[in-house]
């Protein structure tokens, strides 16, 4: 018999309050450092039109940092939500957008879109100009399509008789990640002579929170909000998926609709996150996993909390690396791999007895 | 509200993708109060029939009609409010408390975002009490024994409040006492005007509780009738082989045949105590 952990179930309202306070603290810390005049709070209120702006250049610095913090929180929330959807759908705590290839599908989609719009030039960054005007939407749309295609391929390969086994899921993820990485590498090799294009595609591969604009924040939060709209229609249903798809169907769950909704929502949130910040691994694995240990498996609490928890997680990581590493800013994708990789190894180590039975 | 619990399957035929024939022209009909036990060797098509009737598997040919409507035309929620499916086991073990697991049976009745009314909680409490699980309601499902989990599955079906039960081997991991109680529970349900189809390997429990037994063999109904008509040597031996001994138990409700796996048809039974007696013979109870 496998050893079972005693679940640490803590009160959800307490956790929500803690996460909201941490999120606010993260936004404040992330925007306030190094300002020479006035209070950061005034600057934040000013950016919402509620106070007099700070003297320049402080207000501009604060605005740019605010974009970065909002993007970090949105991307973290979107990735964690995507992970929570996928873990519920695959009935598997090891599913996450990066492990099963959804992030890679999204990254390849983004890279193709960057190639189509002709690179990551000033027009694209500003979102202005004839070619650039629709570029962010195009990149997001391609990222979403790539994520959706990857999710369906994995589901198709790994599911058998309504059941997704852990090895088949992970092997499908490895296979898909390998294929997508190969395609992305081929794309990079092909664009090697075009420095700007190559740099733009490479940026997505690493993931970045630098130079983020208001429309980046808008895009990721809109994607996240749309994705979150599905929560009331899939949360209870995903709880019932725990006993198997056929069992859920017999209890009255429209399983095909729930699967479709959950996959689209997971692909949309992961797609938006990758489109604005590139591939950032492990947020989607770690955050829902920790929340499940803390609050239990009910998706009615897990899914909304994943948004909050993911936001706090990535924002804290970004703020911490800026505070502690200062000028040598590390890409969030690299940082998350450095943090998330060991965590994944720890998960595998802890679950090794269970895995012997796979 | 309990719906009528009438189901009819006509000329059901199904082959697996491997080409093996699972159902070969099965007719089945259940009305209010019926408790039909489907028995037969492994791989004879019993569980496939259950999945087809439940609408979880579309047969190659034939149609299933539930309460006057084609089962495939019903939405998942409509189906669940008319028909409860009790699987032999679950594909995964939900990490939830027993009460929340049983509440899953109320899914077709729940409001938006899983909001439940007082009658849902009452139905769950009643179901937990009727399956002796009320003291374990707040324990995690994973902490229960195999038999207790089996009862949690029955409790969930009870909470569902459907008119028809489709039950797949409900006594697999139960001790003898709870095997009888599981069948008693299903028989009680049928006495309230609902109906149940129970797939089982236990011929004696079927004899004791079934209003009718259908014997399956290689996707066909080899025999169908009352326990006395089906549980006889000349009916069972062509299907199960010669390793069974047959007898009749005199019960207050009349004679009931019994079958024990003993490879000598001449074995004699003697029952100790109790008001009735037993007799065995080459023909069994007929």
pLDDT tens digit string along A53-85? 767 777 777 777 888 889 999 999 999 999 999
Q: Do A91 and B90 touch (CB under 8 A)?
A: no
Å between B41 CA and nearest CA of chain A: 23
Does A239 reside within a domain?
Answer: yes
Please give the share of chain B, as a percent, with pLDDT higher than 70. 90
User: Does one domain contain both B130 and B206?
Assistant: yes
Q: Which B-chain residues 27-66 have CB contacts (< 8 A) with chain A?
A: 51, 54, 56
User: Does one domain contain both B161 and B266?
Assistant: no
Does B1 reside within a domain?
Answer: no
Look up the domain containing A204 and give its range. 73-356
Instruction: Judge whether B146 is closer than 8 Å to chain A, CB to CB.
Output: no
Q: Do B77 and A243 touch (CB under 8 A)?
A: no
User: What CATH number should be reported for the domain holding residue B211?
Assistant: 3.40.50.300
Instruction: Name the band, by pLDDT with cuts 50, 70 and 90, for residue A2.
Output: very low
User: Does one domain contain both B189 and B281?
Assistant: no
Q: Do B94 and A243 touch (CB under 8 A)?
A: yes
The tally of domains found in chain B comes to 2
User: What gap in Å lies between CA A70 and CA B198, rounded to an integer?
Assistant: 57
User: Does one domain contain both B46 and B136?
Assistant: yes
User: What gap in Å lies between CA B260 and CA B268, rounded to an integer?
Assistant: 11
- Domain final position from B230, B245, B265: B230
User: Does one domain contain both B177 and B66?
Assistant: yes
Instruction: Name the band, by pLDDT with cuts 50, 70 and 90, for residue A35.
Output: low
pLDDT digit string, tens, across residues B173-215: 788 988 998 899 899 989 988 999 999 999 999 999 999 999 9
Q: Which B-chain residues 86-105 have CB contacts (< 8 A) with chain A?
A: 87, 90-96, 100, 104-105
DSSP-assigned letter for residue A243 = G
Does A193 reside within a domain?
Answer: yes
User: What gap in Å lies between CA B85 and CA B24, rounded to an integer?
Assistant: 23
User: Does one domain contain both B280 and B171?
Assistant: no
Does B166 reside within a domain?
Answer: yes
* β-strand partners of B254: B251
Q: Do B91 and A163 touch (CB under 8 A)?
A: yes
Q: Does the pLDDT of residue A266 top 50, yes or no?
A: yes
User: What CATH number should be reported for the domain holding residue A248?
Assistant: 1.10.3470.10
Q: What is the four-CA torsion angle of B233, B237, B240, B244, rounded to 10 degrees?
A: 50
The tally of domains found in chain A comes to 1
Does A55 reside within a domain?
Answer: no
User: Does one domain contain both B16 and B155?
Assistant: yes
Å between A282 CA and nearest CA of chain B: 23
**A interface with B, Cβ–Cβ below 8 Å:** 4, 7, 91, 162-163, 232, 235-236, 239-240, 242-247, 249-255, 296-298, 300
Q: Do A252 and B56 touch (CB under 8 A)?
A: no
Nearest to B151 by CA among B119, B184, B122, B118: B184
Instruction: Name the band, by pLDDT with cuts 50, 70 and 90, for residue A3.
Output: very low
User: Does one domain contain both B83 and B168?
Assistant: yes
Does B148 reside within a domain?
Answer: yes
User: Does one domain contain both B126 and B113?
Assistant: yes
pLDDT for position A111: 84
Q: Does the pLDDT of residue B128 top 90, yes or no?
A: yes
Option in A4, A162, A240 nearest B104 (CB): A240
Does A60 reside within a domain?
Answer: no
| Residue A16, H or E segment | helix A12-32
pLDDT for position A127: 44
Measured between beta carbons, the chain A residues lying within 8 angstroms of B165 are none
pLDDT for position A1: 35
Q: Does the pLDDT of residue A93 top 70, yes or no?
A: yes
- Domain final position from B182, B205, B230: B230
Look up the domain containing B280 and give its range. 232-286
- ipTM for the complex shown: 0.86
Lowest mean pLDDT among A33-42, B111-120, B175-184, B269-278: B269-278
Does B86 reside within a domain?
Answer: yes
- Rounded to an integer, the average pLDDT of B58-72 is 90
Option in B75, B92, B105 nearest A242 (CB): B92
User: Does one domain contain both B226 and B254?
Assistant: no
Q: What is the four-CA torsion angle of A259, A260, A261, A266, rounded to 10 degrees?
A: 80
Q: What is the four-CA torsion angle of A305, A310, A313, A317, rounded to 10 degrees?
A: -170
Does A252 reside within a domain?
Answer: yes
Does A287 reside within a domain?
Answer: yes
pLDDT digit string, tens, across residues B243-280: 888 888 888 878 888 888 876 656 666 666 545 455 65
Neighbours of A149 (CB within 10 A): 19
pLDDT for position A99: 81
Q: Which residue has the higher pLDDT, B217 or B117?
A: B217
Q: Do A252 and B79 touch (CB under 8 A)?
A: yes
Mean pLDDT, chain A, integer: 79
Q: Do A246 and B93 touch (CB under 8 A)?
A: no
Does A44 reside within a domain?
Answer: no
| Residue A50, H or E segment | none
Does B82 reside within a domain?
Answer: yes
**B107 with A236: CB under 8 angstroms?**
yes
Q: Which residue of B has its CA nearest to A245?
A: B91
User: What gap in Å lies between CA A203 and CA A208, rounded to an integer?
Assistant: 7
Q: Do A253 and B56 touch (CB under 8 A)?
A: no
pLDDT for position B215: 94
Measured between beta carbons, the chain A residues lying within 8 angstroms of B71 are none
User: Does one domain contain both B155 and B267?
Assistant: no
Find which of A55-59, A294-298, A308-312, B54-58 is predicted with most confidence, using mean pLDDT.
A308-312
Measured between beta carbons, the chain A residues lying within 8 angstroms of B110 are 236
DSSP string, chain B: ------EEEEEEEEE-TTS-EEEEEEEEEE-TT-EEEEE-STTSSHHHHHHHHTTSS--SEEEEEETTEEGGGS-HHHHHHHEEEE-SS-SS---SBHHHHHHGGGGGG--GGG---HHHHHHHHHHHHHTT-GGGTTSBGGGS-HHHHHHHHHHHHHHHT-SEEEEE-TTTT--HHHHHHHHHHHHHHHHTT-EEEEE-S-HHHHHHH-SEEEEEETTEEEEEE-HHHHSSHHHHHHHH-S--EEEEEEETTEEEEEEE--S-TT------SSS--EEE-TT---
Q: Which residue has the higher pLDDT, B95 or B10?
A: B10
Tell how strand B69-70 and strand B245-251 pair up: unpaired
User: Does one domain contain both B102 and B150?
Assistant: yes
Option in B87, B113, B140 nearest A235 (CB): B113
Option in A243, A251, A300 nearest B92 (CB): A243
């Amino acid at each position: 018999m496998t050893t079972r952990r005693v679940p640490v179930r803590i009160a959800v309202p307490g956790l929500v309050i803690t996460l909201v306070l941490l999120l606010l603290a993260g936004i404040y810390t992330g925007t306030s450092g190094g300002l020479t005049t006035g209070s950061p709070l005034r600057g934040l209120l000013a950016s919402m039109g509620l106070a007099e702006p700070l003297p320049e250049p402080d207000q501009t610095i604060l605005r740019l940092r605010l974009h970065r913090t909002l993007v970090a929180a949105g991307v973290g929330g979107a990735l964690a939500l995507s992970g929570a959807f996928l873990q519920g759908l695959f009935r598997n705590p090891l599913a996450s957008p990066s492990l099963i290839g959804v992030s890679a599908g999204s990254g390849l989609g983004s890279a193709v879109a960057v190639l189509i719009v002709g690179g990551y030039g000033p027009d694209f960054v500003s979102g202005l100009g004839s070619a650039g005007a629709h570029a962010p939407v195009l990149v997001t749309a391609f990222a979403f399509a790539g994520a959706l295609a990857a999710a369906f391929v994995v589901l198709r390969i790994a599911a058998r008789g309504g059941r997704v086994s852990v090895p088949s899921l992970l092997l499908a993820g490895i296979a898909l990640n390998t294929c997508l990485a190969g395609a992305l590498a081929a794309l990079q090799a092909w664009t090697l002579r075009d420095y700007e294009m190559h740099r733009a595609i490479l940026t997505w591969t690493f993931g970045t929170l630098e130079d983020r604009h208001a429309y980046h924040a808008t895009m990721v939060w809109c994607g996240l909000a749309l994705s979150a709209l599905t929560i009331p229609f899939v949360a209870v249903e995903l709880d019932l998926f725990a006993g198997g798809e056929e069992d859920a169907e017999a209890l009255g769950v429209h399983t095909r609709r729930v699967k479709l909704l959950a996959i689209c929502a997971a692909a949309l949130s992961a797609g938006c996150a990758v489109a604005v910040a590139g591939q950032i691994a492990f947020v989607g694995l770690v955050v829902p996993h920790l929340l499940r240990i803390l609050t239990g498996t009910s998706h009615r609490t897990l899914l909304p909390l994943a948004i909050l928890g993911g936001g706090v997680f990535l924002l804290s990581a970004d703020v911490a690396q800026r505070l502690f590493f200062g000028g040598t800013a590390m890409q969030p994708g690299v940082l998350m791999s450095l943090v998330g990789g060991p965590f994944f190894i720890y998960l595998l180590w802890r679950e090794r007895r269970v895995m012997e039975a796979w | 509200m309990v719906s009528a619990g009438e189901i009819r399957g006509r000329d059901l035929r199904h082959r697996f993708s491997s080409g093996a024939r699972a159902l070969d022209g099965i007719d089945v009909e259940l009305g209010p109060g019926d408790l039909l036990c489907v028995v037969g060797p492994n791989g004879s098509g019993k569980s496939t029939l259950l999945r087809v009737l439940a609408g979880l598997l579309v047969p190659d040919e034939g149609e299933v009609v539930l309460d006057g409507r084609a089962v495939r035309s019903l939405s998942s929620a409509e189906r669940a409010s008319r028909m409860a499916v009790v699987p032999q086991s679950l594909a995964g073990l939900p990490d939830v408390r027993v009460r929340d697991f049983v509440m899953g049976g109320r899914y077709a009745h729940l409001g938006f975002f899983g909001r439940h009314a007082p009658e849902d909680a009452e139905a769950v409490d009643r179901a937990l009490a009727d399956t002796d699980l009320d003291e374990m309601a707040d324990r995690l499902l994973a902490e229960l024994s195999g038999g207790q989990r089996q009862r949690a599955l029955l409790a969930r079906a009870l909470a569902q409040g459907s008119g028809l039960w489709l039950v797949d081997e409900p006594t697999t991991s139960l001790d003898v006492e709870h095997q009888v109680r599981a069948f008693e529970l299903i028989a009680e349900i049928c006495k309230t005007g609902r109906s149940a189809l129970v797939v089982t390997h236990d011929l004696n429990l079927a004899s004791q509780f079934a209003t009718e037994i259908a014997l399956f063999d290689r996707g066909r109904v080899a025999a169908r009738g009352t326990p006395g008509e089906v549980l006889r040597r000349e009916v069972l031996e062509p299907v199960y082989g010669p390793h069974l001994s047959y007898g009749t138990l005199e019960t207050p409700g009349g004679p009931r045949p019994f079958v024990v796996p003993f490879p000598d048809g001449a074995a004699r039974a003697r029952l100790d105590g109790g008001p009735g007696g037993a007799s065995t013979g080459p023909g069994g109870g007929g």
